[in-house]
Structures are given as C-alpha cells and as structure tokens.
Chains A and B, each alone.
Chain A
C-alpha cells in the first residue's frame, strides 16, 4: 500500500515532567493524550482509533480505554515490540486510516520508572513461562549487558573505540542544552564520558540513557480532517518493521533488525539515506545509535565509529543532525522506553518548531527509528520516513 497522503500526523505532545512521584501511570497517559489533542485542535470524542503498548497498565488496552473514557473507538491495536512499538503504531495507524477503519487515531506512551526506582541494570520479570528465561536469567541477563555485548563485539570486529561511542553522547548533550525540559542539560566532552564509571564493559554510565518519568502522545488523522486543522501537516512516506532474535543459536551481534526495517521503509518512500535531513535514532545506549546508523545505511557496516566522531551528529556542525531534543541519552526515556519521543522530535523538525539553535534549515524529510527490547538477544525494529506535507 502506498502511504503517501493517506494520513497525517496532526498532533504531538511530550509531557514536560521528568519526575512524577505524585502522578499515576494512567494519569500520565491521559495528560499526554490531552496535550496531543490540544496540539491538534481536536477533542476527546473525536478519537476513534487507539494504540498503546506494554507500558499501558492493565490487560492490554482495556484499562486505558476505560480510564480515558474513549467511547467512540472503531479500531484498536496494542502491538508490543518494546520501545519500537510506537513507531509501528504510527505505521499501523496510517494503514488503518487508509483502510477506512478509523479517522482519528491516538497513540500514547507513559511511565514512571524514575519514581519506581527501576532501570536497565536490573532483571525484568516477564513471568515464568517465557521460553528463553531459564536459559538466560540465571546468568544475570539485564538490559545494559545485552547491549554491552553488542558493543564489545563491534569493537572486536571493526576496531570501534570508546572515544567514538562517546561522541554520540557528546552530540546529544549539545542538543539537550537548549531543551529546558531535558533531564541532563550540561554539555559533556568525550573525556567526561570516558571518565564516567563503568557500568557493563565497555559501556560507561554516560553511554546509557536517562531514567525518567513522563510520557508522550501522537494523533494521526485522515487527510480531509487534517487539512481543516491548524497545525502544519506531517506525512508518512514509508515504514518498515522487523524482529530479530538469536536465530536458533546462530547468534550474530554485528547486525540489528534495522538492516531489515530500514530498506523496507526507504523503498516504500522512494528515497535514500542521503536524502534525509534529520534523523531521530533510538538511543537507549550509544551503541544502539551506532548499530542503527550502519544498518540503516547512513554509513557502511563497521564505519559507524568514524561516522559519529568529531560532532558529525550535531545540528549545524555535522552531516546528520540527530536527536535534537537531547534524545534518550540526555532528554527523556519515559517508561524505560522512548520511541514516541523519536517521532515527536521528528515532527517538531518537520514543522520547523524545534529549538532555533538546533532546527535543521528547510527540514522537509526526516527519519525516525526505534529499537525495542534487547539488542543482544531479541529486539523489535521500526523505521519511519516522514515528510513535511
């Protein structure tokens, strides 16, 4: 299906909180939804499609639909692929609208891991019947060491250095200094990253994303409705999704599922990586960014280290401005998963509403990419090519 001009992103909202001990997760979802509706100029009763993922409390989406009082839903989708879910939701929402299954779709994410004291150094409890758990959890498998093993292998295969990875955090921090809501607003240097404590070798504390409370929401609408609204229109040109696991024991940490989802999105959009003016790249860890840049084709496999060095990802300095909100590395990673924040900053760039210090001139084509789950074992991957309509 050609997605061009079938649906538009008309509302986007990032909750300003980064610590919300006095708010419930459901409340953060609802406040994010309200913010996105206000941004779009739509109201509560207009929503007839709803998308949420594993961060929504309760049984699938039943609790959230009931809590928010969404009575007019004709289409629902709770696709769960970790932090890549919300990018898949954008694609699925556009398809649902194109198929006539709904007119105005809402996507929400929210969580408060910071208040709850949960992070990527602790085991996650997925229940007792997960088939891989008995063969992984006894060995201390957590989020950060899954990504760290990818980084270790990348260094071995391609000579990638800790200094090169550090440049990714440095670039994010240059952007975060302009974001008043960012959790980490201080510009850091390569030395700062290298001197931060080792968490899981070779990843240091500043190679890791922030742990924040917060949320975000997006609204997509069919073109006839979208054109009557007040906001600049952002269209979806192409989308791709993929899952990669351990391949039955044929483990290969040198590539991620972005190698599959990326080409699918670029082919549908009819563009190439060289055409992209701005990229939102999932940044749970610095290595996540490096792997995606290679697998999406912004540089050759193994050359990511050289590509990200010397400020190449800094807006106004380098060739590929990325994560101009400060990303998950400095700004926000609500629910221990970003994803929706990747789409929100791409929408700001395409509308020309990013902070003036980081706004990419004439930004008419952007990429947003999500990697969810565990890069070293099993992960979801979603790529969106977005354009200013």
Chain B
C-alpha cells in the first residue's frame, strides 16, 4: 500500500489584524513564531497578547524543523487524500499543519520534518506552512 502525496486546492487564510507580518514572512519562505516580552515563552498560533501572561509579544524566526506529534490521513480528501498533523517545532510549540511531499502511508509519530510553504488559491495570497520528511 502506498499513498503518494498529491496536492489539493488550499483555501487562502484570512489575514487577521496582528498577523500580517507572519504572512509576509511566509511569502519570503520564513516560518515565524511569537514570543512574550514579559515571560519569554513562545506560543502558537500567534497572538498580540501572550496566552500565558497577557504580556506584549513579538515575532521571531523559527528554524522550520520539528517532529510529528500526531497525524491522521483522511482517505477521502478534497479531492486527494491528505495527512493533517501536529508538529512540535524545535522552539517547543506544537502547531497544526499537513505532512506533504512523501508517501502518506509512511508518516509516523516522532518523524523529523521541515517546513515547506505551499501556495493557496487566489492572486497574491500567502502560502501556508506545511512539513515534509527531512
């Protein structure tokens, strides 16, 4: 059995106030995370106020490397099968994403992965951070 990755159309994300920089950096191929200027903790997904202490936050670049925490392959995709996942970044936070550019039947927990930005539908829309095996 194998399920080679085949892309699906991706609906472009809504760019909410406070997340413009994240999506600008995504266009430049850089994954960013937010950290707190008060408690120093990194969080996911990006907020303007820290979800641990309500301190002010700032964006910083992430390495783009991580490990799969959990995943699930949707057999009947849209239209192709796809693998949703939680990836724990080297920075310590765990983010929802998709695992791409591999045989989806070989995906496993603990697997080392790195970010790859995938284009979304529409003109001048930002790409979204997905992950492929290292």
When chains A and B are docked, how far (Å) is the Cα of A134 from the Cα of B45?
9
A275 within 8 A of B: no
B70 lies within 8 A of A145 (CB): no
Contact of A199 among B16, B71, B75, B120 (CB under 8 A): B75
B78 lies within 8 A of A140 (CB): yes
A149 lies within 8 A of B72 (CB): yes
Chain B residue at minimal CB-CB distance from A133: B14
B128 lies within 8 A of A200 (CB): no
Chain B residue at minimal CB-CB distance from A204: B75
Chain A residue at minimal CB-CB distance from B43: A248
Chain B residues with CB under 8 Å of A137's CB are 11, 13
Most buried by A among B45, B50, B77, B92: B45
A249 lies within 8 A of B95 (CB): yes
Chain A residue at minimal CB-CB distance from B130: A139
Chain A residues with CB under 8 Å of B82's CB are 140
A141 lies within 8 A of B13 (CB): no
B97 within 8 A of A: yes
Interface 0/1 of B75-86, CB less than 8 Å to A = 111100010111
A132 lies within 8 A of B13 (CB): no
B112 within 8 A of A: no
Interface 0/1 of B83-122, CB less than 8 Å to A = 0111010001111111000000000010000000000100
B-side interface residues, number (CB < 8 Å)? 45
B73 lies within 8 A of A201 (CB): yes
Given known contacts A134-B14, A149-B85, A152-B109, is B74 in contact with A141 (CB within 8 Å)? no
B72 lies within 8 A of A152 (CB): yes
Contact of A249 among B15, B78, B93, B128 (CB under 8 A): B93
Which chain A residues (274-319) contact chain B, with CB distance < 8 Å? none
Contact of B84 among A133, A145, A197, A199 (CB under 8 A): A145
Chain B residues with CB under 8 Å of A197's CB are 75
Contact of A248 among B10, B19, B52 (CB under 8 A): B52
When chains A and B are docked, how far (Å) is the Cα of A251 from the Cα of B96?
10
B84 lies within 8 A of A131 (CB): no
B52 lies within 8 A of A153 (CB): no
Chain B residues with CB under 8 Å of A201's CB are 72-73, 75
Query: Shortest CB–CB separation between residue B23 and chain A, in angstroms?
Result: 8
A66 within 8 A of B: no
Chain B residue at minimal CB-CB distance from A135: B45
Given known contacts A139-B84, A152-B70, A153-B69, is B94 in contact with A251 (CB within 8 Å)? yes
A138 lies within 8 A of B10 (CB): yes
Query: Shortest CB–CB separation between residue B9 and chain A, in angstroms?
Result: 10
Query: Shortest CB–CB separation between residue B66 and chain A, in angstroms?
Result: 12
Interface 0/1 of A132-159, CB less than 8 Å to B = 1111111111101100111111001000
Chain A residues with CB under 8 Å of B96's CB are 135-136, 139, 141, 377
Most buried by B among A138, A151, A251: A138
Listed in ascending order, the chain A residues whose CB lies under 8 Å from chain B are 121, 128-129, 131-142, 144-145, 148-153, 156, 197-203, 246, 248-251, 253, 376-377
Given contacts A138-B120, A153-B69, A153-B109, 14 further A-B contacts (CB under 8 A): A132-B45, A134-B16, A136-B45, A138-B11, A138-B128, A139-B128, A140-B98, A156-B70, A198-B73, A203-B72, A249-B42, A250-B94, A251-B88, A253-B86
